[in-house]
Amino acid sequence: MDFSLYNPNDVTEIKNLFVRTFSDSESEAEGEIVGSLAYDVMATTEQNDMFVFIAKKDGEIAGSIIFSRLTFENGINAFLLSPVAVSTAFQGQGVGQALINFGLNTLKEHGVALVFTYGDPNFYSRVGFAPVSKEVVKAPLPLSHPEGWLGQSLTGSVIEPIQGESHCVAAMNKPEIW
């Protein structure tokens, strides 16, 4: 498995990976929702405000993760990891964790200080994320599952409380995905 930053020509293949993977794991409707979300982030976000990574096997994209900027009033360099997919046939072989670790290392090299995500703590705790209360760092939108708000510092320190609101990129600013 090869891990790399995406090429903008990969956008349609990446969208299709999300559609397929979430159709298999949840439902066709969920596949369409997450596929469109992934596409919208890639199509509408400034290059400076996102990192898209892929895992490739034999020339085909087998996994993808998307980080988009999370903006705070104090100016800290922060990103949000979502969505994440590993193609059904490759799940359970460590690809998801290896791809996320590859992404986190790259963000660290780019000076990113904090990374947040919204998902299953049992999975994301394997790659360094821990629950974050809204008193410490506010999510950009109201959460239907507050226990899924997770974060980690890439600078070796604990996450200090951040005052004020956080803002996600436009494509992630949809109440129904939170």
Ligand X SMILES: CC(C)(COP(=O)(O)OP(=O)(O)OC[C@H]1O[C@@H](n2cnc3c(N)ncnc32)[C@H](O)[C@@H]1OP(=O)(O)O)[C@@H](O)C(=O)NCCC(=O)NCCS
64 near ligand X, judged by CB under 6 A:
no
At 99, phi and psi to the nearest 5?
-65, -45
Residues 85-124 that bind ligand X (CB under 6 A): 85-86, 91-97, 119-120, 122-123
Phi/psi-derived region of residue 59, left when phi > 0, alpha when psi is between -120 and 50, beta in every other case: left
Let me know: does 1 contact 55? Beta carbons within 8 Å: yes
Residues 123-162 that bind ligand X (CB under 6 A): 123
Q: Which residue has the tokens 């193609």?
A: 87
Q: How far is the CB of 129 from ligand X (least distance, A)?
A: 11
Distance CA 66, CA 51 (A): 6
Q: Which is nearer to ligand X, 57 or 77 (CB)?
A: 57
Q: How far is the CB of 163 from ligand X (least distance, A)?
A: 28
For the chain, what's the residue count? 178
Which of 7-15, 18-26, 105-113, 129-137 is the region at the interface with ligand X (rule: CB under 6 A)? Answer: 18-26
Which of 2-10, 66-74, 78-86, 161-169 is the region at the interface with ligand X (rule: CB under 6 A)? Answer: 78-86
22 near ligand X, judged by CB under 6 A:
yes
Which of 5-13, 84-92, 131-139, 156-164 is the region at the interface with ligand X (rule: CB under 6 A)? Answer: 84-92
Q: Apex CA 35: angle with CA 32 and CA 37, to 5°?
A: 105
Q: How far is the CB of 73 from ligand X (least distance, A)?
A: 28
Start-to-end CA span in the chain (Å): 31
Q: How far is the CB of 172 from ligand X (least distance, A)?
A: 14
Task: Give the closest residue to 140 by CA, choosing from 173, 170, 117, 162.
Answer: 173
List of residues contacting ligand X (CB under 6 A): 21-22, 25, 84-86, 91-97, 119-120, 122-123
